[in-house]
A and B are shown apart, each in its own frame.
Chain A
Amino acid sequence: MAPAEDDGAGKPKVLLEARGVTKRFGGLVAVNKVDFVLEKGMIASIIGPNGAGKTTFFNCITGFYKPEEGQILFDGEDLVGLRPDRITARGIARTYQNIRLFKEMTALENILVGMHPRLKSGLFGAIVRDPATVREEREAVERGKELLRFVGLRGKGDILAKNLPYGDQRRLEVARALASQPKLLLLDEPTAGMNPAETEEMMDFIRRLRDDLGLTVLLIEHDMRVVMGISDRVTVLDYGEKIAEGTPTEIQRNPAVIEAYLGRGGDGYGPA
Chain B
Amino acid sequence: MNLFAIVRVGIRSGLIVGIVAVFIVLIGMVQTFAKRYLTGDLTLSMVILLAFGLAAGALAARQVTKSSPHLGHKVLAAGISGLITGVMLAALLFVISQVSLRDVLVNATPEMVTALSLGLPLSSAALTLVGMTVATAVIAVLYGLAPPRLRRALLEGLMAVILVGLFWEAIIGLDVSRLVMKFLGVKAGKVLPLPGAIGLLVVVGLATYLLRARPHLNTTPTRPKSSSAWRYISLVLIAGALAALPFAVGLFWSQTLTTIGLFTLMGLGLNIVVGMAGLLDLGYVAFYAIGAYALALFSSPASSLGLGLPFWVALPIALIFAAISGILLGIPVLRLRGDYLAIVTLGFGEIIRVLALSDVLKPYIGGPQGIMETPPPYFFGIQLSDPRYLYYLILAACLVVVFISLRLNDSRIGRAWIAVREDEDVAQAMGINLVAAKLMAFAIGASFAGVGGAIFAARQGAIFPMDFTLFVSINVLCLIIIGGMGSIPGVITGAFFLIGLPEVLREVDEYRILAYGAGLVIMMLVRPEGLLPSARRRLELHETEAEEGVAYGTR
Whether A123 contacts B426 in the complex (CB less than 8 A), given A89-B431, A163-B543, comes out as no
Contacts of B413 in A (CB 8 A): 122-123, 126
Contacts of A109 in B (CB 8 A): 415, 418
Contacts of B414 in A (CB 8 A): 126
**Interface presence of A88 (CB below 8 A):** yes
Of B83-91, B231-239, B403-411, B515-523, the stretch lying at the interface with chain A is B403-411
**Interface presence of A202 (CB below 8 A):** no
Contact with B along A122-144 (1 / 0, CB 8 A): 11011101000100010000000
**Interface presence of A103 (CB below 8 A):** yes
Contacts of B411 in A (CB 8 A): 121, 125-126, 133, 137
What is the bound-complex CA distance between A137 and B537, given in angstroms? 23
Closest-by-CB residue of B relative to A114 is B430
Task: Tell me which of A116, A127, A160, A162 contacts B416 (CB under 8 A).
Answer: A116
Pairwise interchain contact A105-B408, C-beta atoms closer than 8 A: no
* CB proximity of A87 to chain B, nearest CB, Å: 9
* CB proximity of A19 to chain B, nearest CB, Å: 23
Pairwise interchain contact A85-B434, C-beta atoms closer than 8 A: yes
Closest-by-CB residue of B relative to A162 is B540
What is the bound-complex CA distance between A122 and B440, given in angstroms? 11
Pairwise interchain contact A116-B431, C-beta atoms closer than 8 A: yes
What is the bound-complex CA distance between A121 and B414, given in angstroms? 11
**Interface presence of A83 (CB below 8 A):** yes
* CB proximity of B517 to chain A, nearest CB, Å: 27
Pairwise interchain contact A116-B430, C-beta atoms closer than 8 A: yes
**Interface presence of A96 (CB below 8 A):** yes
Pairwise interchain contact B407-A84, C-beta atoms closer than 8 A: no
What is the bound-complex CA distance between A109 and B411, given in angstroms? 10
Interface residue ranges of B152-205 to A (CB < 8 Å): none
Closest-by-CB residue of B relative to A173 is B426
Task: Tell me which of A94, A113, A129 contacts B407 (CB under 8 A).
Answer: A129
Interface residue ranges of A132-168 to B (CB < 8 Å): 133, 137, 160, 162-163
Contacts of B543 in A (CB 8 A): 160, 163
Pairwise interchain contact B430-A180, C-beta atoms closer than 8 A: yes
Pairwise interchain contact B431-A104, C-beta atoms closer than 8 A: no
What is the bound-complex CA distance between A126 and B415, given in angstroms? 11
What is the bound-complex CA distance between A84 and B432, given in angstroms? 9
* CB proximity of B81 to chain A, nearest CB, Å: 40
Closest-by-CB residue of B relative to A100 is B426
Contacts of B422 in A (CB 8 A): 102-105
Interface residue ranges of A33-85 to B (CB < 8 Å): 62, 64, 83-85
Closest-by-CB residue of B relative to A182 is B431
Pairwise interchain contact A126-B539, C-beta atoms closer than 8 A: no
* CB proximity of B271 to chain A, nearest CB, Å: 16
**Interface presence of B425 (CB below 8 A):** yes
Pairwise interchain contact B540-A160, C-beta atoms closer than 8 A: yes
**Interface presence of A242 (CB below 8 A):** no
Pairwise interchain contact B407-A116, C-beta atoms closer than 8 A: no
Task: Tell me which of B432, B536, B537 contacts A116 (CB under 8 A).
Answer: B432
**Interface presence of A119 (CB below 8 A):** yes
Chain B interface bracket (under 10, 10 to 19, 20 to 34, 35 or more): 20 to 34
Pairwise interchain contact B537-A113, C-beta atoms closer than 8 A: no
Pairwise interchain contact A100-B430, C-beta atoms closer than 8 A: no
Pairwise interchain contact B416-A102, C-beta atoms closer than 8 A: no
Pairwise interchain contact B418-A105, C-beta atoms closer than 8 A: yes
Whether A127 contacts B415 in the complex (CB less than 8 A), given A85-B431, A85-B433, comes out as no
Pairwise interchain contact A85-B540, C-beta atoms closer than 8 A: no
**Interface presence of A184 (CB below 8 A):** no
Pairwise interchain contact A112-B431, C-beta atoms closer than 8 A: no
What is the bound-complex CA distance between A136 and B340, given in angstroms? 38
* CB proximity of B350 to chain A, nearest CB, Å: 30
**Interface presence of A176 (CB below 8 A):** yes
Whether A160 contacts B412 in the complex (CB less than 8 A), given A62-B429, A116-B431, comes out as no
* CB proximity of B32 to chain A, nearest CB, Å: 42
What is the bound-complex CA distance between A89 and B440, given in angstroms? 20
**Interface presence of A20 (CB below 8 A):** no
What is the bound-complex CA distance between A183 and B403, given in angstroms? 39
Task: Tell me which of A62, A84, A100 contacts B423 (CB under 8 A).
Answer: A100
What is the bound-complex CA distance between A116 and B417, given in angstroms? 11
* CB proximity of B461 to chain A, nearest CB, Å: 32
Pairwise interchain contact B407-A102, C-beta atoms closer than 8 A: no
Contacts of A121 in B (CB 8 A): 411-412
Pairwise interchain contact B540-A104, C-beta atoms closer than 8 A: yes
Closest-by-CB residue of A relative to B418 is A105
**Interface presence of B504 (CB below 8 A):** no
* CB proximity of B128 to chain A, nearest CB, Å: 52
Pairwise interchain contact B418-A83, C-beta atoms closer than 8 A: no
What is the bound-complex CA distance between A269 and B403, given in angstroms? 56
Whether A113 contacts B419 in the complex (CB less than 8 A), given A88-B429, A100-B426, A126-B414, comes out as yes
* CB proximity of B410 to chain A, nearest CB, Å: 8
Contacts of B407 in A (CB 8 A): 126-127, 129
Pairwise interchain contact A88-B431, C-beta atoms closer than 8 A: yes
* CB proximity of A101 to chain B, nearest CB, Å: 8
Task: Tell me which of B403, B408, B412, B429 contacts A94 (CB under 8 A).
Answer: B429
Pairwise interchain contact A102-B432, C-beta atoms closer than 8 A: no
Closest-by-CB residue of A relative to B413 is A126
Contacts of A127 in B (CB 8 A): 403-404, 407-408
Pairwise interchain contact A105-B415, C-beta atoms closer than 8 A: yes
Contacts of B427 in A (CB 8 A): 102, 113
What is the bound-complex CA distance between A148 and B534, given in angstroms? 25
Contacts of A176 in B (CB 8 A): 430
Task: Tell me which of A84, A89, A126 contacts B412 (CB under 8 A).
Answer: A126
What is the bound-complex CA distance between A173 and B233, given in angstroms? 43
Contacts of A126 in B (CB 8 A): 407-408, 411-414
Pairwise interchain contact A64-B430, C-beta atoms closer than 8 A: no
Contacts of A112 in B (CB 8 A): 412, 415
Pairwise interchain contact A123-B440, C-beta atoms closer than 8 A: yes
Contacts of A88 in B (CB 8 A): 429-431
Pairwise interchain contact B430-A113, C-beta atoms closer than 8 A: yes
* CB proximity of A209 to chain B, nearest CB, Å: 18
Task: Tell me which of A85, A122, A137 contacts B432 (CB under 8 A).
Answer: A85
Identify the interface centre among B411, B414, B427, B433: most chain A CB within 10 Å of its CB.
Answer: B411
**Known contacts A113-B432, A116-B419, then 12 further A-B pairs from the complex at CB < 8 Å, ordered by chain A residue:** A64-B429, A83-B428, A94-B429, A96-B426, A105-B415, A116-B432, A117-B431, A126-B407, A126-B411, A137-B411, A160-B536, A160-B539
- What residues make up the interface of B, taking CB atoms closer than 8 Å to A? 403-404, 407-408, 411-416, 418-419, 422-423, 425-434, 440, 444, 536-537, 539-540, 543
Listed A/B pairs (8) with beta-carbon separation below 8 Å: A64-B428, A84-B429, A85-B431, A100-B425, A102-B418, A104-B537, A112-B412, A126-B412
- What residues make up the interface of A, taking CB atoms closer than 8 Å to B? 62, 64, 83-85, 88-89, 94, 96, 100, 102-106, 109, 112-114, 116-117, 119, 121-123, 125-127, 129, 133, 137, 160, 162-163, 176, 180
Nearest 3 Cβ contacts at the A-B interface: A117-B431, A126-B411, A88-B431
